[in-house]
Structure 1
Amino acid sequence: MKVLRKVAPTVAVVLSALSSTAQIKDSLNAPSSVLPGVFADPHIAAFGDTFYLYPTTDGTEGWKSTYFTCWSSRNLKDWKNEGTILDLPKDLTWAKERAWAPAIATKNGKYYYYFSADVNIGVAVSDKPTGPFKDPLGKPLVVKGALKGQMIDPMVFIDDDGAAYLYWGQGNCNIVKLNEDMISFDASKIIVFKPAGYNEGSFVFKRNGKYYLMWSEFDTRDPRYSVAYATSDFPTGPFVKAAQNPVLKGRGVVKGAGHHSVVKVPGRDEWYIAYHRFKIPDGNGYNRETCISPMRFDKNGNILPVDVFETPVSMKKVKASKK
């Protein structure tokens, strides 16, 4: 027994040391990005039995990208490049560069693609989630300088009753209900507000009757870039910021984790968050890569902190959604 008493503390010390070493190793060895190369601001969506990613093409100082791509997957791990779906110089008459932060929604049997172009917000339409997308307006949906802050980072949420809401803006969060055509709105009905810490990249989803507004804090070139959220009983607010924030942030070798989107696996209460981080190694705010991690909730519906070192479990089959 005397020997056991001496060994037990030693074992405890060794286990503690191993645990600490594992934690250090974990923070220094991040999983690979889900897309090859540098892509940022990923919008993830599920249509039918397929997931889609719509990112910003990264890798140029000043974010000078001129085109958008689409990627598809059945299991959230293996992604197929569906090619260029919107080329600003070829497909637009009003903007040629700064192709940023797209989003997609489906209604009326069509797919509506919202995007930033030269600090305006545009919309394009297609019969398929993989495009090609065409500009139905020949002008921005939201023009540069229309409101305070930058007119960037659109996101569209479609509620259970079919009503669609557009969220956008850097510096302030702007909300407006879209008309039935999905490509127009009443500008007199725009709601402008700024949650504490809000910078850009708003995203909205609904779970168990509660509306979640998420956004990115700090600047995308800042290693502290992170994601926070607030909730409301209505899609237009008022939104109350959660006590436990941010829910997504970098750790260890992962820097600048933010500008996210969220997807629910069709037929399940299972959620994933897509986001970008500084490219590993040697990344920065102009060289970012796309990642996906599970996102979970507690029994009260609060979003739990996301582990940026956790990746999705490969899925064998996804139930097709109705949309």
Structure 2
Amino acid sequence: MNKKKSFLALCIGIFFILNTDAQTVNDTLNAPKAVLPNVYADPHIAVFGKKFYLYPTTDGTVGWASTQFTCWSSKDLVNWKSEGTILDLPRDLSWAKARAWAPAIAKKNGKYYYYFSADVNIGVGISDKPTGPFKDALGKPLIPKGALKGQMIDPMVFVDDDGAAYLYFGQGNCNIVKLNDDMISYDASKIISFKPPGYNEGSFVFKRNGKYYLMWSEYDTRDPRYSVAYATSHSPMGPFVKASRNPVLKGKGIVKGAGHHSVVQVPGKDEWYIAYHRFKIPDGNGYNRETAISPMRFNDSGEILPVDVFEKLKKVKIKN
């Protein structure tokens, strides 16, 4: 091959590589696969010991009529193992039989406390293991339906560095209350209720570099615009100021209805991941959703950067 033809071949090769990279960057038709099989929504992600855990809502019924909760574990965020049913409403509760939604978990006092929505009440279970089974701690709701304005659903518990625990919950309004040390009681007169701009449901709180981040879902979960926004505060009970750059998680292209999330930090690292649901791909909707995980990053000012729902998830190892 002469020099002229070699140069032409090189130019064609470079063009092909650049064009392929551009197509990859702009590809909104090939999202990473869901991390759990079938349809699961409202995933709460946590880390205990050297494993990650997911606690989702079982999806796939109109009206979200599921009756059981499951747990999934992973050593690398990519490969997940079913730990089976950890709470069965008809079997384990006397006060609710269906609509098992949006759980969360926290560890304190050497026990695992599992907070969940059941028939639009909030309950709490307790276990010696993160994989359950969980026993109803109260024999009644922790937060009964009608206790406050909006729906009593979507509990999330944040345990601060000093051991104090705070319960966040509610659809329509965001409610906060400090839990007593037993993790299953509180002073109802000290509940704070407010509504951040755009707030609908699915609150989640974490702490980074001394700053508290309150995140939530906007729009309805059946709406393709379902997305996640956030606010910050210097206190776990607020006041919270909504960030100027929002939403930080939203659908794009084939990814629709990306929301109702949770966040996990890799132990010992400033490395964060966000778990969320999206409409099942293909042919999903607000009753058929699947769980995805994406990296979540911050800028130098501590602002959450927009999440790329097309970024491929790489394996993560937990080190002691």
Q: TM-score range by the shorter chain?
A: over 0.9
2:51 maps to what in 1? Answer: 50
Matched, 1:319 2:319: yes
The residue that corresponds to 2:122 in the other structure is 121
CA RMSD of aligned residues (A): 1.7
Contact 1:48 1:319 in 2 (8 A): no
Query: Could you tell me how far 1:22 is from its partner in structure 2?
Result: 3.5
Structure 2 residue aligned with 1:22, among 24, 40, 58? 24
Does structure 2 conserve the Cα–Cα contact (< 8 Å) formed by 1:105 and 1:156?
Answer: yes
Establish whether residue 100 from structure 1 lines up as the match of residue 101 from structure 2: yes
How far apart are the structure 1 equivalents of 2:286 and 2:253? 17
Residue 83 of structure 1 corresponds to: 84
Q: Supply the distance in 2 between the matched residues of 1:106 and 1:21 (Cα, whole angstroms).
A: 44
Could you report, residue by residue, the CA deviation over 1:29-76 in whole angstroms, capped at 9, with x for unpaired residues? Answer: 011000000000000000000000000000000000000000000000
2: CA distance, partners of 1:136 / 1:86: 12
Find the residue that maps to 1:71 and give its secondary structure: strand
What secondary structure, in the 3-state scheme, does the structure 2 residue paired with 1:89 have? helix
TM-score by length of 2: 0.94
Equivalent position of 1:36 in the other structure = 37
Q: Which runs of 5+ in 2 are unaligned?
A: none
C-alpha separation between the residues in 1 aligned to 2:60 and 2:156? Answer: 23
Does the C-alpha gap of structure 1 residues 307 and 182 become closer, same or farther in structure 2, counting only changes over 3 Å? same
Deviation at 1:21, TM superposition (A): 3.6
Match of 2:277 in 1: 276
After superposing on structure 2, the runs of 4+ consecutive aligned residues of structure 1 that deviate more than 4 Å are: 10-20
Which deviates more from structure 2 when the two are superposed, residues 305-314 or residues 58-67?
A: 305-314
Q: Tell whether the 8 Å contact from 1:292 to 1:311 is kept in structure 2 after alignment.
A: no
Q: Residues 1-323 of structure 1: matches in 2 within 5 Å?
A: 21-24=23-26, 26-315=27-316, 317-320=317-320
Partners of 2:66 and 2:151 lie apart in 1 by: 17
Instruction: Tell me the amino acid that sits aligned with residue 270 of structure 1.
Output: E
Question: SS at the partner of 2:135?
Answer: coil
Tell me how far apart the structure 2 counterparts of residues 34 and 310 of structure 1 sit (CA, whole Å).
13
d(CA) in 2 for partners of 1:56, 1:264: 22
Which whole-Å CA distance do the structure 2 matches of 1:93 and 1:160 have between them?
35
CA displacement at 1:301 relative to structure 2: 0.4
Counterpart secondary structure, 2:28: helix
Q: CA deviation at 1:20?
A: 5.2
Aligned counterparts of 1:284 and 1:240: Cα–Cα separation in 2: 32
